[in-house]
Chain A
Amino acid sequence: MKIKTALLVSAMALVPVGAWAADKTVGFSQIGSESGWRAAETTVTKEQAAERGIDLKFADAQQKQENQIKALRGFIAQGVDAILLAPVVATGWDSVLEEAKDAEIPVILLDRKVDAPDDLYMTAVTSDTVYEGEVAGQWLVDTVGEEPCRVVELQGTTGSSPAIDRKAGFEKAISDHPNIEIVRSQTGDFTRAQGKVVMESFLKAEGAENICALYAHNDDMAVGAIQAIKEAGAAPGSDILVVAIDAVPDMHLAIANGEANATVELTPNMAGPAFDILEAYWADGTEPEKWVQTESKRFTADDDNQAVYEMKKGLGY
């Protein structure tokens, strides 16, 4: 490694700044593959590294913090140039992060934050889940205008932070619009099956004609609910507007088929901004902000969802 680096030093001076990442080694400790989004994040991270000529060392922690700490110690021992960490839990990172700091290896947190002094890591690249809810709510506000709209809400797993945040964000967006009212709200556990079951009960309790829109905290529940709406003899996307969050491939397909209206993307590309930060840091020592928010892009029928579906379905969702 050292000889190779030494040989390249003179060549390095000649290449443009954008290629500073070339021949750098980055360790990536991933939580596991508990969801399709997580698998997509892994795929995109590997793609991004390959594109930039970064040698990515990937470690799958199988949902266990001790595996992540072991992986981090391994990366430090190997002397990698930087570490990407998607932490499985928020606490218990102080000592291993200090070890990385002592070894002068910058650590970037992906997708989740940790409870540790912020001088122990370089930055955190995450999405703002409250803002995601706001974007979804704003879409509904823009779409229905002054018309009265009775909304049913499918919440995520009770007590989970995305469920709390996405609810709060949506409520914030509609708070100044008394014509929009959440009439029923129940948990669908972030799963398709529960989304369908709970939507069935909403449809019966309220009557399909009395529901103007469905807001689901994730796309999987929305996809399940769309089936329930169809079975109840109503048209999802027109009789009942459907807006959700995540932008998984099947939701793009539903929008392309006119069965859903909008989704807010939780981008699987957290590594892209992280690598940008690292490249800037390696080039001229630029220190980033302590929190870098990823884009929460809104997809509606105006976008080419069929194309996005084709592009995303190979990512491992």
Chain B
Amino acid sequence: MIAATFRRVLPQLLILGVVLLLNFAVFPGFFHIEVQNGRLFGNLIDVLNRGAPVALLSIGMTLVIATKGIDLSVGAVMAIAGAVAASVVTGGAGWFTALLAALAAGLACGLWNGMLVAFFRVQPIVATLVLMVAGRGVAQLITEGKIMTFLNEGLIHLGAGTVFGIPTPIVIWLAMGALVTLVVRRTALGMLIEAIGINETASRLAGINSRVLLVTVYLTSGFVAALAGVIVAADIKGADANNAGLWMELDAILAVVIGGNSLLGGRFSIVASLLGALIIQSVNSVILLSGMPPEFNLVIKALIIIVILVIQSPIVKQSIYLLRAKASSTVSDMPGPASRPQPAKETRS
């Protein structure tokens, strides 16, 4: 399974490597990591740390997209979760209560989306658009439109603290990614989710309880979005309902797409989506380190992403495959394993 996963995510690993080298090219100290004040300190750590919100979102988004759905509300759910956590700690409760309350809010949002999609059969893009628009308003109501600041050390630790010198957000997204991957891949859950995405009617006829599974994936998405929201709020010691998670749903979808997952549902790879999130963050890092005027930010980002997506497009993949097949047939008659048409055939990661 490890080898299969590796083959599946090889393109993402290569792209990540190239973007990291690009970082190195604009800033030679990029790979330097040191321990400062008992915490790991360096640009590479920043990429892992700052990539945490999108990485977390992409875990839930991958599952939702695998069912042929989409969750546009995750950015707003982040704002709600941050606002809930902040209001609970400023109300005098402890950080753990605040975390639980925020996660409960995220699950409630996920339940709302899941019910609309699974039971009322509203199209996912419409169903989650409701919460995307209204959710930020809910968050603003909770914070009364201001940045709600807090000084609770426990809560701040979730965003700005460290665990054994590693920034907490990194630990959280790695643990969450590993947990969800294990749950969907060590059980039949992942396959059942893929079945829904490929043909829901057929999967239901085959005995899969598609409604419960659909609600579950939206619940997961709400849960990880709430975690991301708490991290973002804790990082700045305040819940900023106007800006927390703004447009982050788009980054999450992009991470899933860069991860090579189809928006039409079906086969998915969480590991590849997480790598997609890291690629996006590395691109952001290139822009910040390059020292280019900010007017170029979006242009550079767009160019790099277009290149990444074109490389992954079926036509380019096909021609790379043909080129390699040609090359290997001239060099030797033995086709290497890498030149098989679909190396990821048996892969589930």
A residues apposed to B, CB below 8 Å: 33-36, 39, 155, 158-159, 184-187, 189, 191-193, 196-198, 200-201, 204-205, 220, 223-224, 227, 231-233, 250, 316-317
A223 to chain B: which residues have CB within 8 Å?
236
A158 to chain B: which residues have CB within 8 Å?
294-295, 297
* Cβ contact within 8 Å between A224 and B236: yes
A159 to chain B: which residues have CB within 8 Å?
295
From A39, A155, A198, contact of B288 by CB (8 A): A198
* Cβ contact within 8 Å between B147 and A232: no
From A204, A205, A227, A250, contact of B291 by CB (8 A): A205
Interface-lining segment among B40-48, B68-76, B300-308: B40-48
* Cβ contact within 8 Å between B46 and A155: no
B50 to chain A: which residues have CB within 8 Å?
197, 200
Known contacts A158-B297, A197-B50; is-contact A36 B145 (Cβ 8 Å): yes
How far is A187 from B289 in the complex, measured between Cα atoms in Å?
12
* Cβ contact within 8 Å between B243 and A204: no
Q: Looking at B27, B46, B288, which has the most chain A CB atoms within 10 Å of its CB?
A: B288
A187 to chain B: which residues have CB within 8 Å?
294, 297
* Cβ contact within 8 Å between B27 and A205: yes
From A189, A192, A220, A316, contact of B145 by CB (8 A): A316
* Cβ contact within 8 Å between A192 and B240: yes
17 further A-B contacts with Cβ under 8 Å, apart from A197-B50, A223-B236, are A36-B145, A158-B295, A184-B291, A192-B236, A192-B240, A193-B232, A193-B235, A193-B236, A197-B288, A201-B289, A204-B27, A205-B289, A205-B291, A227-B160, A231-B39, A233-B36, A317-B146
* Cβ contact within 8 Å between A192 and B294: no
How far is A294 from B16 in the complex, measured between Cα atoms in Å?
51
How far is A194 from B50 in the complex, measured between Cα atoms in Å?
10
* Cβ contact within 8 Å between A185 and B288: no
Question: 1/0 contact trace for B141-155 toward A, CB 8 Å?
Answer: 000111101000000
Known contacts A36-B145, A159-B295, A204-B46; is-contact A231 B160 (Cβ 8 Å): yes
Question: 1/0 contact trace for B94-137 toward A, CB 8 Å?
Answer: 00000000000000000000000000000000000000000000
B314 to chain A: which residues have CB within 8 Å?
none
Q: Let me know if B244 is at the binding interface, CB within 8 A.
A: yes
How far is A227 from B238 in the complex, measured between Cα atoms in Å?
12
A204 to chain B: which residues have CB within 8 Å?
27, 29, 42-43, 46, 289
How far is A308 from B149 in the complex, measured between Cα atoms in Å?
17
Q: Which 4 A-B pairs have the closest CB atoms?
A: A187-B294, A201-B288, A192-B236, A191-B243
* Cβ contact within 8 Å between B41 and A232: yes
B70 smallest CB distance to A (angstroms): 24
B42 to chain A: which residues have CB within 8 Å?
204
Q: Which residue of A lies closest to B53 (CB)?
A: A193
* Cβ contact within 8 Å between A200 and B46: yes
How far is A158 from B287 in the complex, measured between Cα atoms in Å?
14
From A33, A155, A205, contact of B294 by CB (8 A): A155
From A39, A186, A191, A231, contact of B240 by CB (8 A): A191
B147 to chain A: which residues have CB within 8 Å?
36, 192, 220, 250
B8 to chain A: which residues have CB within 8 Å?
none
* Cβ contact within 8 Å between B288 and A186: yes
Q: List 26 A-B contacts (CB under 8 A).
A: A33-B140, A35-B242, A36-B145, A158-B294, A158-B295, A159-B295, A186-B291, A187-B294, A187-B297, A189-B243, A191-B243, A192-B147, A192-B240, A193-B236, A200-B46, A201-B43, A201-B46, A201-B288, A201-B289, A204-B27, A205-B27, A220-B147, A227-B236, A231-B37, A231-B160, A317-B146
How far is A247 from B7 in the complex, measured between Cα atoms in Å?
54
B54 smallest CB distance to A (angstroms): 12
Q: Looking at A36, A155, A193, A200, which has the most chain B CB atoms within 10 Å of its CB?
A: A193
* Cβ contact within 8 Å between A186 and B236: no
Q: Which residue of B lies closest to A317 (CB)?
A: B146
Q: Let me know if B285 is at the binding interface, CB within 8 A.
A: yes
Q: Looking at A34, A192, A223, A233, which has the most chain B CB atoms within 10 Å of its CB?
A: A192
Q: Which residue of A lies closest to B289 (CB)?
A: A205
* Cβ contact within 8 Å between A39 and B146: yes
Task: Scan residues 152-175 of chain B and give those whose CB is less than 8 A from a CB of chain A.
Answer: 160
B196 smallest CB distance to A (angstroms): 35
Q: Let me know if B92 is at the binding interface, CB within 8 A.
A: no
B41 to chain A: which residues have CB within 8 Å?
232
How far is A33 from B140 in the complex, measured between Cα atoms in Å?
10
From B36, B146, B236, contact of A232 by CB (8 A): B36
* Cβ contact within 8 Å between A186 and B243: no
Task: Scan residues 236-252 of chain B and give those whose CB is less than 8 A from a CB of chain A.
Answer: 236-238, 240, 242-244
Q: Which residue of B lies closest to A192 (CB)?
A: B236
